[in-house]
Amino acid sequence: MKRTLDDLAVFGGTAAFSEKLYVGRPNIGNRERLLSRIEDMLDRRWLSNDGVYLQEFERTVARMLGVRHCIATCNGTIALEIAIRALGLSGEVIVPSFTFIATAHALQWQQITPVFCDVDPRTHTLDPDCVERLVTSRTTGIIGVHLWGEAHHVEALEALARRRGLKLMFDAAHAFACSYGGKMIGNFGDAEIFSFHATKFLNTFEGGAICTNDDALAEKSRLMRNFGFAGFDKVIYIGTNGKMTEVAAAMGLTGLEALDEFIDANLANYRSYTRELEGIPGATLRTYDDTRRQNYQYIIVEVDEAVAGIARDALVELLHAENIVARRYFYPGCHDMEPYRSLYPGAGAGLPNTARLARQVMALPTGTAVGEAEIRTICQVVRFACSHGREITRSMNSRAPEATGEA
């Protein structure tokens, strides 16, 4: 319990936790089932290249999402790159700057210009009106991002893409097992991309997938995933090595069997945070729309320094000292990272909502490694910090340089 400033670890007090709590520690599922699959895989001596577990994983995901095709890949970034190339994108593609850097990198890597667009301050996703203003004769596509697992403005973006003759795809890295408008995410735009990285609530150790209802796009993506091979020794298209391994697919299948358990844990944590964060000055929890299917994977708080008296960055530093590894998402925005800051120095002028969110958004620990007791302690620290924000800020600012690690 933090009662005075001296109790805070950042000022020499004892940390709230003896071990670090992370935003997303890997979910494992049933270890016996996983190890049984791995033993079977080893007995088969088929470790990669369209094995039985990969095929089962793709079928299971496609069936669950109600989508025609799931093309599993070695990671989500490769899935983005393959889908971008398979769609024939070139020139300029409109993307949010408030996203993980891979969304932009997947374009720039292929010498396509990412045109950074501002987001809706309420939903944190692409603002369709802003997208419309950025379309030029060089624009070939739009990449939306289902941030925090929620889709927004999908109909407006689809209508805009049709009207302007553009391709539309979605980075759905946060949105596996989520729905929108009565449909599972995976069915929108020309294609949707998932990530199964270790920190995602469903992981394949490392992995990703392209989901689409377009038969031709799926065929092209499968070719590109495996060097363009269409048979044992027949290459008919340019490609790369984007295959998901059998052990990764085995992990994914094991996770799918425990999917409801993972979601239930996330939901319980979200409800605990909702109770414990209520009424904290300047710390606003981003709520989920419970009329949709959600995975509740992220606990997102916006920190208003004017009300809390403490800036988001200072609060994150304070929490880290308590072994609460809160994260700044997505700081400072893709447009303000290299190479984009140098390539497109004026991009930030049109991104006021992105700039504010990059200053204020903070993700807190959740997942199966966190429970009600931990959440109560985390929120007690946040409540104390925001209730004494100005005093803490003055004390943090007055620390000697050596205390802050500065040279």
Domain ranges of the chain: 5-25+259-326+365-404, 31-257
Which pLDDT score is estimated for 401?
64
pLDDT above 70 (res 407): no
pLDDT above 90 (res 253): yes
Closest by CA position to 360, among listed 398, 333, 338: 333
DSSP one-letter code for 141: E
CATH class assigned to 31-257 = alpha beta
Which pLDDT score is estimated for 402?
53
pLDDT above 80 (res 406): no
Closest by CA position to 334, among listed 115, 68, 35: 115
Helical ranges in 278-407 per DSSP H: 305-308, 312-321, 340-343, 352-360, 372-387, 389-397
Q: Is the pTM of this model over 0.75?
A: yes
Map tokens 């577990």 to a residue: 53
- Find all residues with CB under 8 Å of 345, minimum gap 6, and list them: none
- Helices (H) and strands (E) in the chain — how many of each? 15, 14
Same topology, domains 5-25+259-326+365-404 and 31-257? Answer is: no
Query: What region does 187 belong to: left with phi over 0, alpha with psi -120 to 50, or beta?
Result: alpha
Q: For the domain 5-25+259-326+365-404, what is the CATH superfamily, name and number?
A: Aspartate Aminotransferase, domain 1 (3.90.1150.10)
Map tokens 């004017």 to a residue: 306
pLDDT above 80 (res 266): yes
Helical ranges in 121-240 per DSSP H: 128-134, 154-164, 215-225
pLDDT above 70 (res 179): yes
